[in-house]
Structure 1
Amino acid sequence: MDKSRFSMLLLEPGEIYFEDYSCSLSTEKNVNVKQGRLKLCSKSLVFEPREWVYPLIKMQFKDCADITIVNCATAGSNVIKVRMKMYAEMLEENILAPYKFVYEDQDFYVSFDFASADECLSQMQQLQRAATLHAPEHNSMIATILHSRYMRMEFDPVMMDDFTEQIVCELQAEKISPLVRHQGKLALTPTTIYFQPFSNVESSPILKLKLGHLRRLYKRRFLLRQVGLEIYSSEESSVPHIYVTFQSERDRDRIYKILEESPNVQLEKVHTEEMTLQWQNGIVSNYDYLMYLNCLADRSKNDLTQYPVFPWVVADYTSQTLDLTNPDTFRDLAKPMGALNPDRLDKLKERYHEMSEPKFLYGSHYSAPGLVLFYLVRKYPKYMLCLQNGRFDHPDRMFNSVRDVYNNCLRNMSDFKELVPEFYDTEGKGDFLVNKYEIDFGERYDGSKVNDVALPPWAKSPEDFVVKLREALESEYVCRHLHLWIDLIFGYRQRGEEAVKANNVFHHVCYEGAVNLECVYDMNDRHALEVQIMEFGQVPKQLFTKPHVRKISPRITKPLAYLDCNASYKMECIDELQLHKEAVTCAIMCENRVISVGKDGTLKVYDTVLKKQIRSVILSSTPLSSCVMVDNNTVAVGSWDNEIYLYDVEYGRVVECFRAHDDSVSCLLWLEKERLLISGGWDGVVRVWGNVGRTGQALRGLKAEFDHDGKVTSITYRRRRNEIDIITGTSDGEVFIWDYSTKDVVNKISVHTSAVSGLCFVLSGDRVVTTCEDGDMRVTDLSVLDSVYQKQLSGPVTSLCWDGSNVLWLGCGGGRLLQWNMLTVTQTSTYTPHNDSINSVYFDEISKTLITASEDKVIKIWEITQTS
């Protein structure tokens, strides 16, 4: 077999592999000679025999007594003798097992086939001297050697796809995989990223990523330094993914900027708010959303110090069946693991209060390299051997039983670990729970051999276990509470005073920004911090500084796959009306009549069946701003002359008019069930009117007044059980929530920097969409009083309308009409039906008709049909 058994995982984590030599090895001169290759590494020599029956020999420089050249009868003076005080044997007969450490003096004779022993000796002796130094000095010396080699290495353009390609940028870089760092050179051309490793250990002498295949770029923090870049490519790419680090943040940012601005790079733009809203709407699963948040927070499967973290969600590992309808089945997601057991928490807090600053509650982390491999040792045994110097953990301390591990996380004073994504990854089928390589992990105290992980009674198999955990993760209980765990791990309760209140305080070194390694010049201090991070783990980058929104429990019982998530409307203009002499400010539809008002002070009624105007009346010498139907025949009209007019369409007469405000009436809203007319004015007041329709009784029917700081520009409402909230938008960009029953302001939120031009609820009673004159569209979750989505549109938004299901229409400046699917949070179409700003968009659900009215004096009637 030609495939090499040598792997960087046979070295210590972070150890550097320089080069290898064809040679033979014997323990005595010319006796028991084995052919193979000698690997020269920063801390060791590794001999890989050609025949697989023999083990690899690992000779650590720190255990080396002497390295000298000896004369040999057959090889002359091209033989080096390495005298070892101890050495390790690995992969004998290619069986994965703990390394065999031989504690005896041994001389190894290396006879080189092609290389010069003199040259090899000087390199080995240099590395041997480095091994006698303390770790910080050793690292510094190795870095110097590496830099010297880097300066001598030139990027080989022969390996490029096209020799005429111009190199835009060339930098020293490291390709990162778990516990391994491959040094090399990264070269960037206008079409391709090339990574050329220093050593030949990679399967390919050069890695190539076409810029046209790039889809996502993420800046990463690696070992507390902002030097990492993770690149994802499309499926057709030969290299779908690569994680590289650079010498400095400046180098990383330089590459990132070049790639981001390259005309050949088409990145997928997924904004956090968009993903959050899709998750909240049920389009994105809890699993996918947590993977997304981990990715945003610098968590990557390539970095064991920042491996993706997932919560324990199930607390029942003893029942025969898993009841996902019972709240007692689940862990309390509002608390960190360390706070779930009140008795243990009391002891931890007692110790915490006795500490000097900086205090910490938990002496170990919820995610660290050792904890990740504790769960995944059966899937990635080589990682564990690498991390623990060729040894597995003690059999009784291994991951032997799910129930025992969960109980230990509840009771042990130093165990607070969460889970890894593999517990919920149904594609993996629970393979990390099975000893598929049949490794001898040893025997436990009771004499039983460590084999597969013991599962709870409710799981029939590893695959069934993972499927049921995934069902639990996506269950209604978790949907209602997952945002609380997100607050702890990624959100506002991750650090500071809120973390103290939530009993969520870890050692200060593991928080991003707590330590700037670039400013730690003492080699000993720097090394100590790096070791601490490797062993202790890191808190994810903080993504949210305010409470995270709650997922909305789906009301539809259909599986997500059957939901028409991509629904939109095909629109066809069936009539165009030019009834007004000036701009149309509002147009609505009632049965087969279109009622409109405009800046010419007139109200017009158009019959869509007869295709003609049937009413026209001048109500005021000033512009009319808005209109609503208060019954089948009566329309209420707001005017700039501060009046509200009630007009009977059937009989063609004004029923009543009354002074409603001290300045222009800007907007109207009709609540059919309560028979209340709500008006907003430029005087900053919202008034609620009863007795509407009873001649002469409107003013006596004033039910409520709500005062604002700025002009009232928009009104909507929501029902909460038997109560009504009135939501208003103002010229200051603020949104007010008023409780109609108490007449009190519940909340005031500053949403925009300019006047609110549109306001409506979408998808649930907790989220309101607002638009403003500078083109800013936001979705605000009233349960957390914060925007969960923001989109800056290219021009002013002058009106909006909601279809009651998924679709939102935005009337814009320049006559554009945008159609948005707010379930998937995507713009589905753009029309330009008018020559000027669209002042009003109205949807008639019964006839599936849309009415648009514009500053260009035109009204258009649209027939809409749903598409998918």
Structure 2
Amino acid sequence: EDKNRKVIRLLDQNDMVIDVYNISQISGLDAREGLLLLCKNNIYLIDNFFQRADGEVVEIWKVPRKERDEYLILVAQAAGMETEPTVSLDGDMHNCRKWANTDLKEIYKRRFLFRDVALELFFADGQNALLTVSLKERDELYTKLASRVTLYEDSTESIIGAGEKEYLTNTLSGAFKLSNLFGTSILSELTQRWERRDITNFQYLMYLNTVAGRSYNDLTQYPVFPWILADYTSEDLNLENPDTFRDLSKPMGAQTSERRLEFADRYRQWGETNDPAPAFHYGTHYSSAMIVCSFLIRLEPFTQHYLKLQGGTFDHADRLFDSIGKAWESASEKNMGDVRELIPEFFYLPEFLENVNKFNFGVKQGTGEAIDSVVLPPWAHGDPKVFIMRHREALESDYVSANLHHWIDLIFGFKQQGQAAIDALNVFHHVSYEGAVDLDKITDVVEKTATIGIINNFGQTPRQLFKKPHPTRMLSSTDVATLGFYPFQDHTDKLVQSIRPVKGLYNDRLGVSSNQQLFIPSDGQRYIEWGFTDFSLRLFSSESGKLLNVFEKLHVGYISTACFPDSRTLVTGGTDSMVCMWKVKADKGTDFIPLECLRGHTSSVTALTASRSNSILVSGSEDKSAIVWDLNRMKYVRSLMGHENGVQLVCINDSTGDIITCSGHVIRVWTINGELLLSKSTGSSSEPILSCVFYEERPKEWSGKEQIITGHKKGIIKVSPGISAIAFVCEL
């Protein structure tokens, strides 16, 4: 214990260390060495400590280089990664991150530099970590961590499963206990769900990237997505015309006949030489750290990663990513050294297309044109949000759905390697493939450093997932008889008034609650109620209505609103202008333990809503503002201002992160980053909005068919199909 006293002081009271591992945390192009502590109650990641062979814990800078991670140091030499001790934002050299054992939700085996040394951990609060350990310890550590995994209450929170609870419970829960999560049965299940259209094209591509070892934490193995459009010049995007789309059956190097002939000739000529290295079509890759950083150069921390790759300065302005249309022309036709594909951000993140940080990227030669925000195709009308919306719509179109399996064959499937890859003009440098080199068998330091540099800089081909042609997707159908139900957004005329009042619906069973009551997730067996004259919050049994407990002095004054982001967290708002977060403790009974009091409002808090998938909490107040809070860090993020009256209602679209605020008769829609998308009156000032909700066709899945539903006096419900459509009125 004396040898470990440096880290013991960082532990929770009564927690006890069970195992200690020397690890490195990979983040982008940087790596932080430190310790992973598996304790009785929690899991800790602590920076800049090292446990020596005799058990003593010392600062990392006191450790001889020969005892540290050899590969991390070689990578640093090859690619400019940071391995020196890092300081956290609050100035702490030994930054400590902590999660309860029950918060570990998913763990995946990963490779780093094609070595089986990495694990990726996902936690209930949305945070994650990519760790490397010694080769001999990886599987042992995986087994210990897998035994601590607890399933999500809601399967849509999982990065690998979004669907029926039965699927998650019966299939994935067992898989976590196996030595390899990604068994063929799991992959087969995912593929079948895509075939049946149970999941979107975007979701399926993300799943395949995950299964193939791609990670947002590692820029050298970043998720890869396809170019899907070939039309970046039209004023209007016609998704019914096949010519609008890229040929998904061919790699980017074979999109034109001229390129196909030239790359085929290059492969043939290589084979005629005496070079022992295997022949290849392309001397560059479709996914690399430089490609990712070039696309995301306008956003931090990718700007800094790009500068590291470029030696501290931006590349010449003419070579920077500044136009989507020109990038397509370069990768599909004009530049024989460019065969890049896209990244997921092209389908959900408009901010990466804007120079929000006002970086000086220089000017182009000849024209003197300054590089600023990315030039969009005409059909985006100069708006990054419109580009993302139409691009995502194109990804989910019937044409892409009918042809996406061809691209999967190239990137993840049977055309990735072997004769099929040669025939498809889809062969890259041999070092980019898994299993091509074994770094641990290379004894020459110079050769090992050079090989690491190639792997790190050139790009890494994803793990091959399919050895046979990928199945096709079912055709889409709007026929009610085929679907077995009426799609809500197309059949609002089928809505009828309920025979009896319905005040609350909980999971699969009907539950009645008033405006000042909430069921406690995840089973709804108990509910809370507030609004009493003694300012208390009370706990009741849902079945019998019996009073179970009374909680007093949670606020100085009345509790005015509350919400449950999840079964472990309660948030309350009061007339004292405070937003308070509580840990739900449910051992023998139910108790609420204070976590944090959030200060930002100047008047009564009137509304609360939370999105665990977006890790945000939104509060509305009589002070005419709404505030977005970080749900994980319990910190202020931004205010949403400009309301004429107090904010009475707030809600969040789980799939997009968009936020609704309602003030009087006016509804406003904001992006998760606080940009106002829409401000609209729903009627006269004497008809305030009484209730509001986002309707998502499938919870937490993008569909492009989200609707906003507002409730008003006299039983009127107004339904707006999307934020730009004109609301229509249904009398219920």
TM-score category, normalised to shorter length: 0.5 to 0.7
- Aligned length in residues: 411
How far apart in 2 are the matches of 1:337 and 1:169?
Answer: 48
TM-aligned CA deviation for residue 261 of structure 1 = 2.5
* Structure 2 residue identity aligned to 1:240: Q
1:512 aligns with 2:427: no
Instruction: Determine if the alignment matches structure 1 residue 463 to structure 2 residue 385.
Output: yes
With over 3 angstroms needed to count, the CA separation of the structure-2 counterparts of 1:382 and 1:253, relative to structure 1, is same
SS in 2 for 1:185: strand
Q: Counterpart in 2 of 1:399?
A: 321
1:486-528 CA-partner distances (Å, limit 9, x unpaired): 0110111111111111111000000001111111121111100
Counterpart CA distance in 2 for 1:539 and 1:159 is 40
Could you tell me whether the CA contact under 8 Å between 1:259 and 1:265 is conserved in 2? Answer: no
- Partner residue, 1:497: 419
Aligned equivalent of 2:278: 358
CA distance in 1 between counterparts of 2:476 and 2:232 reads: 28
The secondary structure found in structure 2 opposite 1:159 is coil
**Is 1:548 equivalent to 2:470 in the alignment?**
yes
Correspondence for 1:439:
359
Deviation at 1:348, TM superposition (A): 1.6
TM-score for both structures, normalised by structure 1: 0.45
Partner residue, 1:257: 143
Distance 1:470 1:156 in 2: 47
- For residue 175 of structure 1, give the secondary structure of its aligned residue in structure 2: strand
Deviation sequence 1:65-116 (CA, Å, 0-9, x none): xxxxxxxxxxxxxxxxxxxxxxxxxxxxxxxxxxxxxxxxxxxxxxxxxxxx
Kindly provide the amino acid, as one letter, of the partner of residue 172 in structure 1: N
Cα distance in 2 for residues equivalent to 1:155 and 1:413? 55
Distance 1:473 1:265 in 2: 30
SS of residue in 2 equivalent to 1:219: strand
**More helix, by proportion:** 2
Looking at structure 1, the residues matched to 128 and 484 of structure 2 have their Cα atoms a distance apart, in angstroms, of 29
The alpha carbon displacement at 1:561 in A equals 11
CA apart distance, 1:338: 0.5
TM superposition shift of 1:168: 2.6
Whole-Å separation in 2 of the counterparts to 1:328 and 1:398: 28
Q: Equivalent residue of 1:458, what SS?
A: helix
Once the 2 structures are TM-superposed, how far is the Cα of residue 158 of structure 1 from its aligned partner?
1.6
Whether the 8 Å CA contact 2:228–2:248 is kept in 1: the answer is: yes
**Equivalent residue for 1:274, pick from 183, 186, 189:** 189
Runs of 4 or more, structure 1, over 4 Å off, are: 151-155, 263-270, 557-564
* Paired residues for 1:357-756 under 5 Å: 357-379=277-299, 380-410=302-332, 411-425=334-348, 428=349, 430-445=350-365, 446-460=367-381, 461-556=383-478
Query: Are the structure 2 counterparts of residues 265 and 442 from structure 1 closer, same or farther at C-alpha, using a change threshold of 3 Å?
Result: same
**Any conservation in 2 of the 1:190–1:264 contact (CA below 8 Å)?**
no
Bigger mean CA offset, 502-511 vs 187-196: 187-196
CA contact (8 A) 1:157 1:163 kept: no
1:508/1:200 CA distance change after superposition, 3 Å: closer
**2-side partners of 1:241 and 1:562: how far apart?**
39
Q: Deviations over 1:147-198 (max 9, x none)?
A: xxxx998761121113442x33211101111111010011112432211111
Which sections of structure 2, spanning at least 5 residues, go unmatched? 49-84, 153-157, 159-167, 173-185, 489-506, 510-697, 700-732
One-letter code aligned to 1:391: T
Match status 1:332 vs 2:247: yes
Give the alignment of 1:100-249 within 5 angstroms. Answer: 156-165=7-16, 167-198=17-48, 199=85, 201-203=87-89, 205-235=95-125, 240-248=127-135
Counterparts of 1:561 and 1:256 in 2: how far apart (Å)? Answer: 44
Counterpart Cα distance in 1 of 2:230 and 2:477: 26
Residue 441 of structure 1 and its aligned partner are, at CA, apart by: 0.6
Q: Residues 102 and 148 of structure 2 are in contact (CA less than 8 Å); yes or no, is this contact kept in structure 1?
A: no
- The letter of the residue matching 1:227 is V
Tell me the residue number matched to 1:135: none
- Does the Cα contact within 8 Å between 1:483 and 1:549 map onto a contact in 2? yes
State the AA in 2 paired with 1:252: R
TM-score (norm 2): 0.54
- Quick check: 2:32–2:86 contact (8 Å CA) kept in 1? no
Give the SS at the match of 1:312. coil
**Residue aligned with 1:156, SS:** helix
CA contact under 8 A between 2:322 and 2:375: conserved in structure 1?
Answer: yes
Question: Aligned in 2, Cα 1:263/1:541: closer, same or farther, shift over 3 Å?
Answer: closer
Is the contact between residue 191 and residue 264 of structure 1 (CA under 8 Å) also seen in structure 2?
no
- Over 3 Å counting, the alpha-carbon distance change for 1:418 and 1:443 in structure 2 is same
Residue 192 and residue 321 in structure 1: after superposition, are their counterparts in 2 closer, same or farther (change >3 A)?
same
Q: Percent identity?
A: 40
Structure 2: distance between partners of 1:497 and 1:534: 26
SS in 2 for 1:455: coil
Distance in 2 (alpha carbons) for counterparts of 1:154 and 1:471: 56
SS in 1 for 2:369: coil
Aligned residues of 1:363 and 1:507 also touching (Cα < 8 A): yes
User: In the TM superposition, what is the alpha-carbon distance from 1:233 to its structure 2 partner?
Assistant: 1.2
Rounded Cα–Cα distance in structure 2 between residues aligned with 1:274 and 1:264: 21
Query: What secondary structure is seen at the aligned counterpart in 1 of 2:137?
Result: helix
Q: Distance in 1 between matches of 2:292 and 2:106?
A: 26
Query: Conserved in 2, the CA contact under 8 Å of 1:172 and 1:185?
Result: yes
For the aligned residue pairs, the C-alpha RMSD in angstroms reads 2.7
What is the alpha-carbon distance in structure 2 between the residues aligned to residue 442 and residue 510 of structure 1? 33
2:224 aligns with one of 309, 332, 336 = 309
Cα distance between partner residues in 2 of 1:401 and 1:163: 57
SS in 1 for 2:379: coil
Compare CA radii of gyration and give the structure with the larger one. Answer: 1
How far the C-alpha of 1:274 sits from its partner, in A, is 2.0
Deviations, residues 568-623 of structure 1 (Å, cap 9, x unaligned) = 999xxxxxxxxxxxxxxxxxxxxxxxxxxxxxxxxxxxxxxxxxxxxxxxxxxxxx
Provide Cα deviations, 1:652-685, integer angstroms capped at 9, x if missing partner. xxxxxxxxxxxxxxxxxxxxxxxxxxxxxxxxxx
